[in-house]
Amino acid sequence: MTEEETLAKITEVVRDELDDDDIVLTRDSRADEVEGWDSLAHVRIVVAVEQSLETRFEMNDITELQTVGELIDLIQRSSG
Amino acid sequence: MSQSHTELPWLPQAPDDFRQLCKALDASDPNVGNAVQQLATHRLSSAQARSLGKSIKRLQNADVALAPLSPLKLSILPGGTFDMVIETLPAAAARSGIELSVCAAPAEQVEQSAYNPQSDAIAFSPDVTLIAVDHRWLGLDRPSLDPAVSNAKIDSAYDRLRDIVRAISDSTGAPAIVCSLPTPPLPLFGNFDGRVAGTVRQMIVEFNARLHDFCTETGSILFEVAMIAEAIGTGQWFDYRMYHMYKLPFASEAIPLYCDKLGQLLGAFRGKARKCLVLDLDNTCWGGVIGDDGLASIKIGPGSAEGESFLAIQQLALDLKARGIILAVSSKNEDSNARQPFLEHPDMLLRENDIAVFQANWQDKPSNIEAIAETLNIGLDALVFLDDNAAERAQVRAALPVVAVPELPGDPSLFPALLASAGYFEALSFSQEDQQRVESYKAEAKRAEIRTKSRDLGDYLGSLEMQISFAPFSALGRPRIAQLVNKSNQFNLTTRRYSEKEIEQFENGRADFTLQVRLSDKFSDFGMIGVIIAHETDSKNAWEIDVWLMSCRVLGRRVEEAMLAQMVASAQENGVTTLIGCYIPTAKNAMVSEHYIKLGFDFAEEQADGTQLFRFNVPAFEAGDLPFSFAIADPEGILE
C-alpha cells in the first residue's frame, strides 16, 4: 500500500469508529485534535486498523503512537 | 464464507450502507422495532453494532415503543475495561428480541457498586445484573501448589462472588448473571496440570464445576464464557497485549461473539428463545433432489462423506427434538415425493412422526412458514428456518423478518455446527415437561392450510438481480442438455427422453427450434436450468413443443415466461403463428399440469391416453415486464 492508500484506509476506519464522515486526517493529525478521539476511541481505532489490515502491532509501538503519520509508518513497517 | 466463530458466520452480511440505515431509523415509523431487529440480525462489526446501538438509544430517548422487542434493563459490574462490550451489546440483544438499556459500573468497581445502593448500577433498578469478572479478578491467576491454600483460594473466590450476588439481590430484587472462567493457555507442568490441585487450570476446573450449584443456591443465571473461549480457542480469547495496555479482559475480536451469546441469554431470560426448527429437505436434509433423482439416488446415510454430513444434520435435528424443539418441514416438492424418504429410505433417521407439520408443495416458503406457525399456535418469532438455498433464505428474511434464518455455506458438513453455534434454542432450565412438549404437538406430519397472501414478489425477484441467457443447442451445452432431458421429472411437460446422440441431431437441424437457458442471480450461478425442443408440424406455420423442462430450483422466478417470450420471438422470425403445447401426465409432473394455461395457451384437446394439447396464438402475444437482465457475457460460448 502506498502512503496515500494507507492514509485513506486510516481515515475510513476513523470515520467508521467515530461515526463522523466529515473527518479529514493528515500525517500531522494528532488524536487529541480530533473530536471524539479519546483514549477509548484510540483502543477501538487501533483494534479496527489491525482487523482491517489483518495485522498485529507490537505493544510498545502502539503505546508510543502520537500522530497519524506515526501510525502510517507503523503500518508500512508492519506490512513491509 | 469464513468459518471463524468470532465472525458469526451464521448471520448474513450487513449491507454496505448499514450506518446510513441505522441513522434513517424513524421514530415515527410504527414498525421501527421490527426494523431495528432486522438490522441487528446481520454479521456486525463493532463499529456497525455501535452505530445501531446509538440509534436504539436515540429511539429510547424519544420514548418510542420498540415492539416486538421486549425492554430489559441490565447492569454490568465489570472487572476490566468493558466499554467496547457495552457499546456492542444493545445491537446483539436486539437480535435476540431484547430492547436493552445498559448501566455499567466503572471498571474494577464491582464491589464498590454492588454494596452501595446509591451507585449508578444499583440505582438503575436493573432486571438483571451481569458480574463480569474473570480468573484474574477472582484471584485464581497464580498457582498455589499447597492444596490447603488452593482450596482456600477457591472458597474465597466463591465467598466474594456470593456476597456480591446477595447484595445485588437485596438491593435490586433481581437475579445476577455469573460467568464461567476460561482457562488461560499458560500450563505450568503441561500434561500434568490436571493432576495437581493448585495449578491455575485445576483451580478453574474446580471453580467452574462448583458454579452450577452456586447458581442453583443463589438463583443466579450462568453465562458460559468458558464455552465461548473454548469455541474460538483460548489462544485467541486471551489477548495479553490488550490486557496489559487497556485492561481489555479478552480479545476485541471476540466481542461480537460474546455479545451475541449474552444477548441470547437475555433473550431466553425474557422468554424469547425459539421453539421450532423448520427444515428444507432437498440438499438440506439429504443430498440431491428427491423429485428428480429418486429415492435410490439421494445422498443420505453412512458410506459417503456427503451422506454422512446430511445424517449429522438429521442427528442434530433429532437431538433438538429430544430436548423439546418442535420439528417441521417446508419443501418445494410434491407431497408424496417429499415424504417418500421418510417412509421408505432405510438410512433416514428422521421419520414422518418426528415432524409436527409437513409442508411439501410449490407455494412460496413464507406462506408455508406462516402456516406452520399457525398450526402449532406459536409465534413466527419462535421459528428457525434451515435452507441451503440462498434465494429462499433471502425471501423468508424479507417477508418474515422475525423468523431466524441462519446463513449456510455450500458445504453440508458445516451445517450442524453453524446451526448449533447460532444459539437459537437457549434454555435457562430443562425439565421433563420440555421433553414432553414435543409430544403434545402430536408430531403427525400433518399438512397445514396455506392462506396465501398476495406478496409483492416483484420486489423480491427484482432484488435477486437475475441474469438470464438464451441460446440454441450447442456442442458445449450438449452433455448438460442430455442430462436434464434424461433426469428431470417434475418440471417436465412430456418426460420424453433423448440420448446425447439425438440431442446432437436436434442441434444440427432435426429440430426446428431448440433453446437452452442459463440463469444466475446475485447469490449463485444456477447454470443451465431450462430446455425447449420444438418441431414444425405438417402445416408449416405451427411448432409443436416436444420437450419443455426446467430445473425446480428456479421455480417461481418467471423463467418460463421469459422462455415463452424467447420462443415467440423466434417463431415470429420464422413465420410461425401457432405454438402447440403438450402435457403428458406422469406420477411426478403434476406441478406443471397448468403450465400452458398459466402462460396463456388455450386448451385444445385431451387424447385417450390422457395427453393434453394446448394452442398459443403467436400474433396475440403481449410481452410483459420480466425481472431479468439478459446476460451478454457468454463464457462457455453457447451463444456463438
Residue of A10, A14, A17, A19 for testing the chain B interface, max B β-carbons within 10 Å? A19
| B322 to A60, B264, B428, B430: CA distances (angstroms) | 53, 21, 17, 11
Residues in contact with B608: Cβ distance below 8 Å, sequence separation at least 6, in sequence order: none
Here the cell at position B560 is 418460463
Say if the Cβ atoms of A51 and B19 lie within 8 Å.
no
Q: Output the pLDDT for position B443.
A: 60
Q: Please answer whether residues B350 and B327 qualify as being in contact, where contact means their C-beta atoms are separated by less than 8 angstroms.
A: yes
Q: Output the pLDDT for position B1.
A: 40
Classify burial at B195, counting beta carbons within 10 Å of its beta carbon; exposed 0-12, middle 13-18, buried 19 or more: exposed
Q: Please answer whether residues A68 and A10 qualify as being in contact, where contact means their C-beta atoms are separated by less than 8 angstroms.
A: yes
The arithmetic mean of pLDDT across residues B545-571, rounded, is 92
Here the cell at position B243 is 490486557
pLDDT category, B608, cuts 50, 70, 90?
A: very high
The arithmetic mean of pLDDT across residues B130-155, rounded, is 95
| Range name among A38-52, B388-402, B418-432, B440-454 with the lowest pLDDT average | B440-454
What is the rounded distance in angstroms from the CA atom of residue B289 to the CA atom of residue B278? 18
Q: Output the pLDDT for position B137.
A: 95
Residue of B83, B86, B88 for testing the chain A interface, max A β-carbons within 10 Å? B83
- Report the relative pairing of strands B128-132 and B98-104 from DSSP bridges: unpaired
In the 8-state DSSP scheme, what is residue B263? Answer: H
Look at residues B25, B41, B16, B23 and name the one whose alpha carbon lies nearest to residue B256. Answer: B41
β partners of residue B177: B130, B221
Q: Output the pLDDT for position B432.
A: 74
Q: Which residues of A touch B45 (CB under 8 A)?
A: 16, 48, 51
pLDDT over 80 at B439, yes or no: no
pLDDT category, B156, cuts 50, 70, 90?
A: very high
Q: Output the pLDDT for position B337.
A: 92
What is the per-residue pLDDT across B259-271, written as a single tens digit (0 to 9) for each? 999 999 999 999 9
Q: Which residue do the cell numbers 447458581 mark?
A: B215
Average pLDDT, chain A: 88
pLDDT over 80 at B572, yes or no: yes
DSSP conformation letters of B362-384: SS-HHHHHHHHHHHHT--GGGEE
Percentage with pLDDT > 90 across chain A: 31
Question: What part of A 12-51 touches B (C-beta under 8 Å)?
Answer: 16-17, 19, 40, 43-44, 47-48, 51
Residue in A40, A58, A59 nearest the CB of B83: A40
Helices (H), B147-304: 147-172, 200-218, 225-232, 234-237, 240-246, 255-269, 290-293
Q: Which residues of A touch B47 (CB under 8 A)?
A: 16-17, 19, 44, 48
CB distance from B58 to chain A under 8 Å? no
Cis peptide bond upstream of B68, omega within 30: yes
Question: Cα B173 from chain centroid?
Answer: 38
How many other CB atoms are found less than 10 A from the CB of residue B103?
A: 19
Here the cell at position B100 is 436493552
Residues in contact with B23: Cβ distance below 8 Å, sequence separation at least 6, in sequence order: B51, B55
A4/chain B closest Cα distance in angstroms = 23
Beta strand residue intervals within B68-175, DSSP E: 70-78, 98-104, 128-132
Q: Output the pLDDT for position B555.
A: 82
pLDDT over 60 at B633, yes or no: no
Q: Output the pLDDT for position B637.
A: 46
Percentage with pLDDT > 70 across chain B: 96
Residue in A47, A58, A62 nearest the CB of B252: A47
pLDDT over 60 at B236, yes or no: yes
pLDDT over 80 at B445, yes or no: no
ipTM of the complex: 0.87
pLDDT over 50 at A61, yes or no: yes
A49/chain B closest Cα distance in angstroms = 12
B477/chain A closest Cα distance in angstroms = 43
Q: Output the pLDDT for position B638.
A: 46
What is the per-residue pLDDT across B40-73, written as a single tens digit (0 to 9) for each? 999 998 889 999 999 999 999 999 999 999 999 9
pLDDT over 70 at A80, yes or no: no
In the 8-state DSSP scheme, what is residue B447? Answer: P
Question: Cα B473 from chain centroid?
Answer: 38
Q: Output the pLDDT for position B88.
A: 94
Dihedral sign computed on CA atoms, order B628, B629, B635, B638: positive
What is the per-residue pLDDT across B323-346, written as a single tens digit (0 to 9) for each? 999 999 999 999 999 999 999 999
Residues in contact with B177: Cβ distance below 8 Å, sequence separation at least 6, in sequence order: B128, B129, B130, B131, B220, B221, B222, B223, B262, B265
B21/chain A closest Cα distance in angstroms = 13
Q: Which residue do the cell numbers 471463524 mark?
A: B4
What is the rounded distance in angstroms from the CA atom of residue A3 to the CA atom of residue A6? 5
Q: Output the pLDDT for position B59.
A: 96
CB distance from B57 to chain A under 8 Å? no
Q: Which long-range contacts (CB under 8 A, 24 or more apart) does B36-40 make?
A: B36/B66, B36/B69, B36/B94, B36/B99, B37/B68, B37/B69, B37/B94, B37/B95, B37/B97, B37/B401, B37/B402, B38/B397, B38/B401, B39/B91, B39/B94, B40/B91, B40/B92, B40/B94, B40/B95
Helix H, strand E, coil C: the string for B317-332 is HHHHHHCCCEEEEEEE
Residue of A10, A12, A14, A16 for testing the chain B interface, max B β-carbons within 10 Å? A16
Q: Output the pLDDT for position A43.
A: 86
pLDDT category, B251, cuts 50, 70, 90?
A: very high
Q: Which residue do the cell numbers 429462499 mark?
A: B392
| B350 to A35, B287, B387, B444, B448: CA distances (angstroms) | 59, 14, 16, 13, 20
pLDDT over 50 at B640, yes or no: no
CB distance from A63 to chain B under 8 Å? yes
What is the per-residue pLDDT across B363-400, written as a single tens digit (0 to 9) for each? 899 999 999 999 998 999 999 999 999 999 999 998 89
CB distance from B47 to chain A under 8 Å? yes
| Range name among A6-10, B299-303, B622-626 with the lowest pLDDT average | B622-626
What is the per-residue pLDDT across B451-469, written as a single tens digit (0 to 9) for each? 655 566 667 788 888 999 9
pLDDT over 50 at A72, yes or no: yes
| Range name among B79-83, B108-112, B144-148, B440-444 with the lowest pLDDT average | B440-444
Average pLDDT, chain B: 91
Say if the Cβ atoms of A48 and B84 lie within 8 Å.
no
Helix (H) or strand (E) holding B419: helix B415-421
